[in-house]
Amino acid sequence: MSAQSQNSFSYTQKIQLDGALGRTGEITTPHGTIQTPAFIPVGTKATVKAVLPETMGELGAQALLANAYHLYLQPGPEIVDEAGGLGKFMNWSGPTFTDSGGFQVLSLGVGFKKVIAMNEDTFRDDQVIADGKDRLAHVDDDGVTFKSHLDGSMHRFTPEVSIGIQHQLGADIMFAFDECTTLHNTRGYQQKSLERTRLWAKRCLVEHGRLTELRSDKPYQALFGVLQGAQYEDLRRKAAKDLSGLNEDGITFDGFGLGGALDKEKLGTIVSWLCEELPDNKPRHLLGIGEPDDLFVGVENGADTFDCVAPSRQARTSAVFTQDGRVNLTNSKYQRQFSPIDESCDCYTCTHYTAAYLNHLFKAKEMLASTLATIHNERFIVRLVDQMRDAITTGEFYNLKTEFLGRFYSAKI
């Protein structure tokens, strides 16, 4: 039996956004459904730092995403497998995602970011990622050799290794192993890398088919192909056509990850190039994006799900979202604000605690500060994308976008 025939994974498109590629829909997985567009909070090591999984459910998270690289190093995928898979291991009954580890292993020691604030004319140098004495990772046509950030030990990921790890982790949605490039790379390198990622995608499908049969007693795991191509229209369109057309003995991708180097200025254009080429009946996940303006652009141009570690990471540094922009709770102006962080927020923190209390907790370096701030930030972003989904349904998307972004990015309180 092929992976596809025992597939309990599906996507249904519902309402299309007027004049754009945006849409609402529903993803069905063995652990429940996800109404899209949706923001998927990141629990890197099978935990959203400082917050109970139960609380993540209460604040509206429909699914959680963990990182294969981190769980491979600690505690090891075999432990998570023996525990009954990622969801069971962390007491999360809803859908789960894992990334392939590609971004983490390739970015080790390079320090590159998903979105790099620079334009196309900026200096490029393949040495940034091709090789280099101080790098912790080396990529070749077969895979990536890298040094653990924990103990310096050497490891190697290939497409087969990444898919094997992700099958052991047992998430509902997994991603193909890809080479993540940066905007620093030359066009020649991007082209070469894209072909490498295409060949790796084929190997991922073959291994995925093999493991799905071998582990047929486990719930079906969907595999998304990851589309690279940086800022080049022809390369991006080629990636989408190539990967959506792949069929290895009946095994095809269940959805797609929109990945790689994404210039913030061109984010919407790049997402639209990809979504124009992709089939309507499969979901699209925009990897590593979580800023409010980027989320609006992603939703408008056809992305269905998003993940980003930023809301929780920023919360732990006392940076929280409000309708009027991001603010820092350690600012002395909050010392006597005996009202919530954001009056319009319906999160547990805002309905039970004041900004003054959080200001005190952060200044006193109390652990509860991280918990309460993370609950607020995750709820803020989950709810914002939920509001975008509702607004597509009611025909109010563009009004919401103008109103929200106008207030969030202009007013400085």
Residues at the contact surface with Zn ion, assessed by CB under 5 A: 345, 347, 349-350, 376
Q: Per-residue DSSP letters for 292-326?
A: HHHHHHHHHTT--EEEESHHHHHHHTTEEEETTEE
Give the whole-angstrom CA distance, residue 175 versus residue 405: 31
Give the rounded distance of the alpha carbon of 379 from its chain centre: 16
Residue 132: phi and psi, rounded to 5, are 150, 140
Q: Which is it for strands 255-258 and 284-286: parallel, antiparallel or unpaired? A: parallel
- Pick 216 or 339: Cβ nearer Zn ion: 339
- Pick 350 or 361: Cβ nearer Zn ion: 350
Q: What value, to the nearest 5°, has the Cα angle with vertex 387 and ends 381 and 389?
A: 110
Radius of gyration of the chain, Cα coordinates, nearest whole angstrom? 21
CB 29 within 8 A of CB 172: yes
- Shortest Å distance, C-beta 381 to Zn ion: 11
Give the whole-angstrom CA distance, residue 222 versus residue 377: 29
Give the whole-angstrom CA distance, residue 235 versus residue 100: 21
- Shortest Å distance, C-beta 354 to Zn ion: 11
Of 406, 359, 386, residue with least CA distance to 60: 386
CA distances to 42, 230, 294 from 264, in Å: 21, 11, 8
What angle in degrees, to the nearest 10, is found between the helix axes of 397-410 and 292-300? 160
* Residues 6+ positions from 80 with CB-CB distance below 8 Å: 46, 71, 86, 89, 168, 169, 170
**Residue 413, token pair as written in the block:** 């309180």
- Pick 130 or 356: Cβ nearer Zn ion: 356
Give the whole-angstrom CA distance, residue 53 versus residue 197: 34
What does DSSP assign to residue 73? H
Catalytic residue positions, numbered: 99, 307
Residue 67, H or E segment: strand 64-67
**Residue 252, token pair as written in the block:** 């095809």
Give the whole-angstrom CA distance, residue 175 versus residue 173: 7
Give the whole-angstrom CA distance, residue 38 versus residue 36: 5
